[in-house]
Amino acid sequence: MHLINFDPASFLRDYWQKKPLLIRDAWSGWRNPLTPDELAGLACEEGVESRLITRQKDRLAAEDGPLPETRFSALGGLPWTLLVQAADHHIPAVAELIEPFRFIPNWRIDDIMVSYASDGGGVGAHFDQYDVFLIQGLGRRRWQIGGHCDENSALLPHDSLRLLADFQPVEEWVLEPGDMLYVPPGFAHNGVAVGDDCMTYSVGFRAPSRSELIGDFADHLIENMLGDPRYGDPDLSMQDNPGEITPAAIRQLHRLITDALLDKNAFAHWFGQYNSRSKNPDMDWSPDEMADAEYVENMLRCAAPLKRNPACRFSFIRRNSGELSLFVDGGYFDLSGETARFAETLCAHPAHVPKIDSNEQQRAIELIIQLLNRGCVIFLPL
């Protein structure tokens, strides 16, 4: 499936992080990639992040998964919604929905959350801090869009849901299967199922906050600091008032910190690792049998396609001419020459047939072996 009735360049110019957009019949030959029973099965599994939200009168209650199989039969006639995060990490057909959105850089793409709702089910009026494309997969859902919100917007008291206290819709649509709604960060929205068997796929994007970046980068600098220079004042002179912290002292103290923070190369290397960390670090994707050079050489000779694990995060940063750092699930590989060009292709395509010059094939094979044995890539059967 691919997007139709949609021009990425015009979208980025006119709508991205600016205003919502409804696209009717956004997909060619829409096919719902996941059944409600399959989604419920995921919600029962350990290691899968899920949540069940039920409504009783005007009160929403949330339960975190994994859920017992008997929970769904006990829901009765109450409106309810099941949410499963990162369904694309477990269901290849769901992961394929991400490919049409590659006009957004890979490092910004987060995952696909899938929701199933009974008639009247929803998660309440809220706003997100990130961009989201809401794809109607099955059934119908009424979406209402409100104004822009921020950290000062009033919220209802709730233990685990951030619900807006005063939601005033300004636009409203009912989405049918294959329709898609884009909602920029900060815009209030509320979705309610119209009838049973309502499924929605939410393609979300990463947007790290300043506090997150500063906190993690500072921790990284401390852990990897070579030496720990201290404040010194060999040119100290008499002060009129010993209680004053002088401008000269402040400048030197400030420099102790900023000299480390302003190292752009160190920041880029840290960010590549930070941003590529696995969403589910406890998941073990490694194969039952470890790959070796003989296996990889044979698959390359057979022109077998190499496919990325959709649960793994790949990105790269160019260093010098012909050199780059490849980041995969928080790890990194410094590469050059033909191996660097291979890594670029690997990041650009979910699956491709590797074509590597024989002069540098050994280095590329070593990289592929490591990625295979981490479960980050697989060779597809011929």
Q: What is the pLDDT of residues 64-92, one digit of tens each?
A: 989 998 888 888 788 999 999 999 999 99
Kindly tell me if the per-residue pLDDT of 368 is higher than 90.
Answer: yes
CATH number for the segment(s) 293-379? 3.40.366.30
Confidence band of 288 (pLDDT split at 50, 70, 90) = confident
What's the mean pLDDT when you consider all of the chain? 92
The domain locations on the chain are 8-205, 210-229+244-262, 293-379
| pLDDT at site 254 | 95
Q: What pLDDT does residue 42 have?
A: 95
Query: With helix as H, strand as E and coil as C, how does the chain read?
Result: CCECCCCHHHHHHHCCCCCCEEECCCECCCCCCCCHHHHHHHHCCCCCCEEEEEEECCEEEEEECCCCHHHHHHCCCCCEEEEECCHHHCCHHHHHHHHHHCCCCHHHEEEEEEEEECCCCCCCCECCCCCEEEEEEECCEEEEEEEECCCCCCECCCCCCCCECCCCCCEEEEECCCCEEEECCCEEEEEEECCCCEEEEEEEECCCCHHHHHHHHHHHHHHCCCCCCCCCCCCCCCCCCCCCCCHHHHHHHHHHHHHHHCCHHHHHHHHHHHHHCCCCCCCCCCCCCCCCHHHHHHHHHCCCCEEECCCCCEEEEECCCCEEEEEECCEEEEEEHHHHHHHHHHHHCCEECCCCCHHHHHHHHHHHHHHHHCCCEEECCC
Question: Is the pLDDT reported for residue 62 higher than 80?
Answer: yes
Q: What is the pLDDT of residues 235-276, one digit of tens each?
A: 889 999 999 999 999 999 999 999 889 989 999 999 999 999
* % pLDDT > 70, the chain: 100
pLDDT higher than threshold 80 for residue 223: yes
Q: What's the whole-number mean pLDDT along residues 155-180?
A: 93
| CATH of span 8-205 | 2.60.120.650
pLDDT in tens, 19-29: 999 999 999 98
pTM across the whole model: 0.90
